[in-house]
Structure 1
């Protein structure tokens, strides 16, 4: 996943709100968001190649999401980053304890959010210290937390502007669908060719072989119920399906 914007205790009725795009090669086998067959209390998509997920939530209020750090030429980690989210969602340990016991050296560069419903933590194996996040709006793409890449700055502002319209999800999906590329003068320099910097500079990424595979909006209410909405895409941004999974308490 290449863009996550979330609100943690930033709305009186929705303590956790997430708008996220997962960018990946279209050829990588993927299951749409659903309850997991082996652990049906977990809701999220599945990477069918390595068995993990980019974003998931449980009925008990656990949440996890991960992005990669863009660092071309760096050797690949021994374990899939999707394990970071899967193992947390399938456990019952606190977010703080989970972060503390991770061997981060086994993974390629990552950004990870985990919440046990009581606290939200961010960590990266490209940053020295994990952070327990205070109430607010946060974002990450393929660098560190709140790195001011133009796409992330734009997405955070649109996210904040959408909060008053909840529970209507329209504006959150509108921000995730933004395909405007950044002008060359404002592009970050992440070590990939200019054509790729341009392609990846938009919030919604589309091409023949690589792009936004899923747009997800997650609403977790103060009573513990949740709603996860996902829109899935194929090559050149072709819509494949939409789904909504809701729980009640």
Structure 2
């Protein structure tokens, strides 16, 4: 997953609103979101190469999402574990968010650069192994995450946050509005782009909210609406190389007590 924007405790109906795009190589084998056969309470897509996931939830309100931290100079030749195991490990466990991230902090060098969000029905926490501080509890409001630290003002992050704030302000939060937020393929001007060490042509290709190229791009968009006292709505829309929708998964489940 390479873009996530979310509103935490800033809507009268929804405790959490999240819209996220997973960007990945098109030839990486993947299963769309479903309840896992080996862990039936987990609803998530699955990476068939390493067995993990990029984003998932449970009926009890546990949520986890991971993005890569883009900096080729810091990339590991042979990381010990796949970053997709990080959200999978949280979703299949019952440990509280803070405790999970504190334990992970001790093993941070086993992974290539990552950002990880974990939540339960009460709180949401963030941690990156590319930041010197440990886990932090995320404050209420609108936040954004791409391939740098939480709320780093990359254009796709700031415009996504502005878009979500507009939906909240105008009381227009809906699954389709959030999917529209994620669908913009327009690149940003060169002078606004970060320099992450991949060269300007690749920075341009990676700059839109919705990425489209022959080998790499947005594989799916996910919307999660978690009501304060009620259902959890989960929608995942998958795409082919040409931005054609190939599958939509829509699941609404009552919050488990």
Match of 1:101 in 2: 103
Within 5 Å, give how 1:85-234 maps onto structure 2.
85-102=87-104, 103-129=107-133, 130-163=135-168, 164-166=171-173, 168-234=174-240
SS where residue 14 of structure 2 aligns?
A: coil
83, 86, 95: which one aligns with 1:84 = 86
Match of 1:237 in 2: 243
Count of matched residue pairs: 248
Match of 1:75 in 2: 76
Q: Distance in 1 between matches of 2:191 and 2:60?
A: 45
Give 1:236 shift. Answer: 2.9
Q: Distance in 2 between matches of 1:43 and 1:224?
A: 17
Give 1:224 shift. Answer: 4.2
Q: What's the Cα RMSD here?
A: 1.1
Alpha-carbon displacement from aligned partner over 1:87-113 (angstroms, at most 9, x marks no partner): 100011100110111111111000000
Q: Distance in 1 between matches of 2:247 and 2:216?
A: 18
Contact preservation (8 Å) 1:60, 1:224: no
Q: Distance in 2 between matches of 1:31 and 1:157?
A: 32
Q: Distance in 1 between matches of 2:182 and 2:46?
A: 20
Change (3 A) 1:107 1:116: same
Contact preservation (8 Å) 1:146, 1:152: yes
Contact preservation (8 Å) 1:211, 1:235: yes
**Are residue 39 (structure 1) and residue 46 (structure 2) matched?**
no
TM-score (norm 1): 0.97
Q: Distance in 1 between matches of 2:115 and 2:64?
A: 11
Contact preservation (8 Å) 1:61, 1:224: no
SS where residue 241 of structure 1 aligns?
A: strand
Give 1:193 shift. Answer: 2.0
Q: Distance in 2 between matches of 1:46 and 1:159?
A: 27
SS where residue 236 of structure 1 aligns?
A: coil
Contact preservation (8 Å) 1:211, 1:236: no
Structure 1, gaps ≥5 residues long: none
TM-score (norm 2): 0.94
